Amino acid sequence: MKKLCARCGKPFDCLHDSDIEHCHCATVQLTPSQRQKIKATYEGCLCNSCLRLMAESLE
pTM for this predicted structure = 0.79
Contact residues for 36 (Cβ-Cβ < 8 A; gap 6+): none
Model pLDDT, residue 19: 63
Summarize pLDDT for 25-39 with one digit per residue, the tens. Answer: 778 888 999 989 999
25 exposure class (CB count in 10 Å sphere: 0-12, 13-18, 19+): middle
Count of domains for the chain: 1
* Domain membership of residue 29 as a residue range: 2-57
d(CA 59, CA 40): 15
Summarize pLDDT for 37-58 with one digit per residue, the tens. Answer: 999 999 988 999 999 999 999 8
d(CA 51, CA 46): 6
